[in-house]
Amino acid sequence: MAKLRHANIHQAGLTLGYNNVRIKEGDEWKTAFRTKYGLFEYLVMPFGLTNAPAAFQHFMNDLFADLIDVTVVIYLDDILIFSENPEDHPAHVREVLSRLMKNQLFCKLSKCHFHVTTVDYLGIVISPSGFSMDQKKVEAVTSWPQPRTVKQVQAFLGFVNYLRRFIPNFSSVAQPLHNLTKKETPWSWGDLEEAAFQELKVLVTQSPVLIHSNPKLPYYLETDASGVAMGAEANYDTHDKELLAIIKALEEWRIFLEATDKPVQVFTDHWNLEYWMQARTFNRRHARWRIFLSDFNFEIHYRPGKQSGKPDALSRRSDYVDAPPDPEVMLPSEVFVNTSEAELEIVTEIQEKLKDDPSLDPIIQFLTEDADNAPPSIRKAYRDYDWKRTYSGTEETSCPRFGKLEGTLA
């Protein structure tokens, strides 16, 4: 898409689409369908086959293999022919149309637009000023009814997800709606979900125009960590979260930021990251990230959070900042089960032995009723090991040999 900047564009749409592809001889029976007149088979690829989009895209890619991303952008039957030089545009259009004619592919006139600079392609309006959303898509989002089921929430998120590049802070804003789609989460549409639903509608109507990238100018990247935007990494420490924000930003705009002539200026509010690239040793995670970052020409600069208004505000929204991370189990359940069983045997044995030792009765009674008058060594031992005798079955027992046993069993 970035190559369409200031280009002359010719848009063409093929007629009949998938029906232009012949089914392999001998496989026609796989498309048979029954009517009151008998069984019929398709000779060409019908609409509705599972592999139809992939097969047709492969066919178009083979046909224009040497022109793709040079003068042609193709998605299924939608073709964009672009030329930065207006004098070259007629020759490019003629080459594409001649290949279509040679393969008996025909364009639908109502889908064709000749020598334009603004075009609606796959729901995105491409113009010299940049990229913007199709107003039909905006109207569809603003008129979307309130979801009543998980399936309806998934349908809404699937639609707006296509437009997420135009919606700032999309992950955090949509977090309450994404939580509803989790398998273990019961359905509950409250104020938080309603606020997120309405805010997405408002953000769609206020979406900015994304300007075209200019590789001749330096790039500036401002990042900040969020506690919820990256769900799988919510339990990372602060250092790794801040570094992950840089990693994800470079991944998102890799096509523009990789191997630039001028260093990409990265600004973060985490001081230690300014010297992270100079470290001599890395753990496995950092080593993996270091290999990824080696493809980029960038410099990390520290900037206090007060001066980084845009990324800092997006990552510190009051309604998401206190979201607790999900509990994480570090050991298999078998380990805890075996431990509990072993401790239970010890406690049972201690209880039985104490019952058989009547000499402990006056000691425990004295420490329980008048522990403050006991010798210092006795008080210290009593405090450390918390001796208790089980008479009524309501108290737990512990001993100096094994330490305090209260709280060791779930």
Which DSSP string corresponds to 254-270? HHHHBT-SSPEEEEES-
| DSSP per-residue string spanning 86-117 | GGGHHHHHHHHHHHHHHTT--B-GGG-EEEES
CATH of 133-205, one of 3.90.1300.10, 3.40.605.10, 3.30.70.270, 3.40.190.10: 3.30.70.270
CA distance 210 to 17: 31
CA distance 24 to 330: 53
Specify whether the CB–CB gap between 19 and 54 falls below 8 A: no
pLDDT attached to residue 123: 76
The two three-digit tokens of residue 299, written as one number: 């410099």
Is residue 387 classed exposed, middle or buried when 0-12, 13-18 and 19+ CB atoms within 10 A define those classes?
A: buried
The two three-digit tokens of residue 43, written as one number: 């000779």
Give pTM, 2 decimals. Answer: 0.52
Q: Where are the domains of the chain?
A: 2-128, 133-205, 220-315, 332-410
Q: Could you identify the residue written with the tokens 């039957």? A: 77
Q: Name the nearest CA neighbour of 105 among 28, 19, 42, 44.
A: 19
Class of domain 2-128: alpha beta
pLDDT attached to residue 166: 78
Q: Which H or E run contains 284?
A: helix 284-293
pLDDT attached to residue 361: 74
**220-315 is a CATH 3.30.420.10 domain:** yes
CA distance 237 to 273: 13
- Tens of pLDDT, residue by residue over 40-87, are 988 888 888 888 888 888 988 998 888 888 888 888 888 888 887 878
CB atoms within 10 A of CB 307: 10
The two three-digit tokens of residue 156, written as one number: 């809404």
pLDDT attached to residue 284: 87
Phi-psi label, residue 393: left if phi above 0, alpha if psi -120 to 50, beta otherwise: left
The two three-digit tokens of residue 394, written as one number: 């309501």
First to last CA, the chain: 59
Specify whether the CB–CB gap between 354 and 361 falls below 8 A: no
CA 390 → CA 173, 189, 297, 370, distances in Å?
55, 50, 70, 18
CA distance 410 to 404: 15
pLDDT attached to residue 147: 87
Is residue 125 classed exposed, middle or buried when 0-12, 13-18 and 19+ CB atoms within 10 A define those classes?
A: middle
Say whether 180 sits in a helix, a strand or coil.
Answer: helix
CA 94 → CA 69, 74, 118, distances in Å?
17, 16, 20
Say whether 310 sits in a helix, a strand or coil.
Answer: helix
pLDDT attached to residue 407: 39
Same CATH topology for 2-128 and 220-315: the answer is no
Q: Give residue 362's identity as a one-letter amino acid code.
A: P
CA distance 289 to 295: 11
Q: Which residues of the chain have a pLDDT value below 70?
A: 1-8, 207-209, 212, 227-235, 305-344, 366-375, 377-410
DSSP letter, residue 22: B
The two three-digit tokens of residue 190, written as one number: 């409250």
